[in-house]
Amino acid sequence: MSHSAAPRVSVVIPHWNGLAHLDVCLAALRRQTMTDHEVILVDNGSTDGSQAYVRQHYPEVRLVELGSNRGFTGACNAGYAASRGEFVCLLNNDTEADAGWLGAVVDVFNRHPHVGIVAVKLLLFDQRDRFHAAGDIYRVDGIPGNRGVWQTDRGQYDREEPVFGACGAAAAYRRAMVEEIGFLDDAFFFSCEDVDIAWRAHLAGWEVRYTPAGVVYHKLKASGGSGVVGSYYDGRNFLYVIWKNYPTSLLRRHAGDILRAQVAISREALRAWRGAAARARLRGQLAGLIGLVRLWPARRRIQAARRSDDRALAARLTPVDVAAAGE
């Protein structure tokens, strides 16, 4: 692991009360064949002894202590501010990266100078032949998703290719792109921040590419974000992404699809009204609608700097019927 002034890659791990996951995650980073990297663990005010454990057992890890829970975006942004690498990789603390993960990511960046984001093969930790994500999709109706989620790995995603986005559990970013478009938006706090930055990358003319050569195993919900909290932020941030990023011309074209998708989400939540997660989803939708005013300045700035035309953007969106078929 490099201790040079400027490592090629910075790995940023947002962390909150995940001591039980650290040995698997950090030991895997010690095994990386690409050794010119630094590891930065950003602690969101853990109370489980994580900080002392890292200092004692992983002295090579740079520990950034925030003292309070600033959410996924706050931790990642603090890690980015502390990072020095040409490429910055976000990695959840409940993961195990294959030894060739970083090498595969850097290889894509080296071969494709216009690629700003790299997605990798993300498999379930406990079912290692089953996908969490092979890159992310974004449907024309404003619903994001993990490509291949829950599918058995039969080689169907063994081709390196363009995708819409990279799941934030293991996503890699070129610093030059981030310096141009910004990193994660703290307004999101948690959920869809990876979708938002993918949109901004495409709008600014950068490419997103998936590589099957980089493999990461993910425990998925072990590090939090499911249930009531996840439902609220999903409900809100689906709309935040649309308000900020969806170009007006494409928004007009797919307004009906977007409206039908939001109505379907509301109906499903109302049918399950007694469940706390369903009520949280509705509260999130309401907050998302109100957020249009808050996000308007950001939308104007992003759209004014847009360099991609409608055809290029539309090529990266997934039709609803294709997504439903499992693409």
Q: What dotted CATH number matches 9-218?
A: 3.90.550.10
pLDDT at 227: 82
pLDDT at 322: 66
The Cα-based distances of 89 to 1, 29, 40 in angstroms read 15, 12, 10
How many CB atoms lie under 10 A from the CB of residue 113?
10
The arithmetic mean of pLDDT across residues 93-118, rounded, is 98
Residue 41 φ/ψ, nearest 5 degrees: -105, 120
Per DSSP bridges, beta strands 136-138 and 144-146 are antiparallel
pLDDT at 5: 75
Confidence of residue 323 (pLDDT cuts 50, 70, 90): low
Indicate whether 79 pLDDT > 80: yes
Q: Calculate the CA 21 to chain-centre distance.
A: 19
Tokens encoding 129: 């032949």
Averaged pLDDT of the chain = 94
- The pLDDT > 70 percentage for the chain reads 95
Indicate whether 2 pLDDT > 50: no
Reported pTM: 0.94
Tokens encoding 15: 């962390």
Confidence of residue 127 (pLDDT cuts 50, 70, 90): very high
Is 24 within 8 Å of 96 (Cβ atoms)? yes
The arithmetic mean of pLDDT across residues 159-185, rounded, is 98
